[in-house]
Amino acid sequence: MATRLDTRITSALGPASGADVFAALLAKARPLVMGVLNVTPDSFSDGGRFLDPQAAIAQARRLVGEGADLLDIGAESTRPYGGAVSVPLDEELARLAPVLPGVITLGIPVSIDTLKARVAAWALDQGAAIVNDVWGLQRDPEMARVVAAHGAAVIIMHNRERADPAIDIVADVSAFFERSLAIAVRAGIARERIALDPGIGFGKTIEHNLQLLRRLDEIVAIGCRVLIGTSRKSFLGTIAGRDVEQRLGGTIATNVLALARGASVFRVHDVAPVADALAVAAATLAGRWPPTTTT
Ligand code: HH2
């Protein structure tokens, strides 16, 4: 099936302007919850649960019902703590093809979590609005051009091949973002279409994750919206002594703290409880209800 898919990198504008979608979302001036949909056999917390297309679309519907503002769909596990198996292009497309169009009909913006520009181009042609690149436009040399050509938004995530406990991780992330932003500008991607994500768990020690959360305001100061993804990650389990399915408490704590330091978008598997926590935290930080103009 995948071989018949049209995976050309088109220079035409995609069906939806990611810039408009992203701007409209951000204009809501409240924390945005991104629901995770993994159409994979091996994702670290839910691998195999949504590989079946019907199960995947049902999960997407559930996430929307729980209050997700946008959905992030991925068909290749990036396994933040190592051991990811790379998925060939045809296989990644074959996993997405029976799922993505149905997810797009749910009516909220969809982000495609992929390392491959050809997968991103195909998903944007289907109506996805955002590309989530866990190598921040620095892996596939075509990625920035695809994002720009489709008028899409992009999540630039920091990544490293391996953790180096000796480095200042905030400086490393900032330098990485500088390179990614230069690539984005050269390709013609406007700054309003970019969200930065420090990539919690990717090539980082536990302390690095904690430092990035504690000093998140330094990333926010770069001037783009900041997305954070701590959901169910292993450092939460290590600290609290919890297995992967018991990390909601740690997920909520870290998302609320990230909100307090200026993060805008929160990538999570458990949408309803995190959305509740963020709504209450945002009102508390604002000291009023509704919390109106603050982000
Ligand atoms: N984390 C994961 C995957 N993609 N993308 C962004 N922007 N930020 C993240 O923190 C992030 C991400 C890992 O989580 P998950 O998708 O559940 O696992 P897997 O990569 O094993 O599918």
CATH of the domain at 197: 3.20.20.20
Q: At 182, which amino acid appears? A: A
The count of domains in the chain is 1
Which of 43, 76, 85 maximizes ligand 1 atoms within 8 Å of its Cβ, making it the mutation to test the pocket?
Answer: 43
Nearest residue to 213 (alpha-carbon basis) of 243, 176, 169, 181? 169
User: DSSP characters for 213-281?
Assistant: HHTHHHHHTTSSEEEE--TT-HHHHHHHT--GGG-HHHHHHHHHHHHHTT--EEEES-HHHHHHHHHHH
Q: At 10, which amino acid appears? A: T
Nearest residue to 233 (alpha-carbon basis) of 223, 221, 219, 243? 243
Query: What is the per-residue pLDDT across 231-248, written as a single tens digit (0 to 9) for each?
Result: 999 999 999 999 999 999
pLDDT of 11 reads: 30
10 within domain boundaries: no
Q: How far is the CA of 149 from the centre of ligand 1 (A)?
A: 25
Confidence band for 2, pLDDT divided at 50, 70 and 90 = very low
The protein residue with its alpha carbon nearest to ligand 1, atom 10, reads 229
Dist CA 198 CA 254 (whole Å): 13
* 233 catalytic per annotation: yes
pLDDT of 294 reads: 46
- Our answer on whether the CB atom of 78 is closer than 6 Å to any ligand 1 atom is yes
Q: Which two structure tokens, joined as six digits, stand for 256?
A: 């609320």
50 within domain boundaries: no
Tell me the mean pLDDT in the region 205-224: 98
99 within domain boundaries: no
Residues β-bridged to residue 36: 72
81 within domain boundaries: no
93 within domain boundaries: no
Contacts of 132 (CB under 8 A, 6+ apart): 72, 74, 111, 112, 113, 114, 154, 155, 157
Q: Which of 118, 204, 233, 247 is catalytic?
A: 233
SS3 126: helix
Tell me the mean pLDDT in the region 133-149: 98
Asked if 194 contacts 153 with a C-beta cutoff of 8 angstroms, the reply is yes
181 within domain boundaries: yes
Which of 134, 209, 213 maximizes ligand 1 atoms within 8 Å of its Cβ, making it the mutation to test the pocket?
Answer: 134
87 within domain boundaries: no
Considering only residues 81 and 45, tell me which one the structure prediction assigns the higher pLDDT.
45
Nearest residue to 18 (alpha-carbon basis) of 219, 187, 194? 194
Above 50 in pLDDT, residue 1?
A: no
Q: Which two structure tokens, joined as six digits, stand for 142?
A: 């075509």
- Domain limits for position 223: 17-28+109-284
Above 50 in pLDDT, residue 167?
A: yes
45 within domain boundaries: no
Above 50 in pLDDT, residue 198?
A: yes
Q: How far is the CA of 80 from the centre of ligand 1 (A)?
A: 7
- Our answer on whether the CB atom of 79 is closer than 6 Å to any ligand 1 atom is yes
Confidence band for 275, pLDDT divided at 50, 70 and 90 = very high
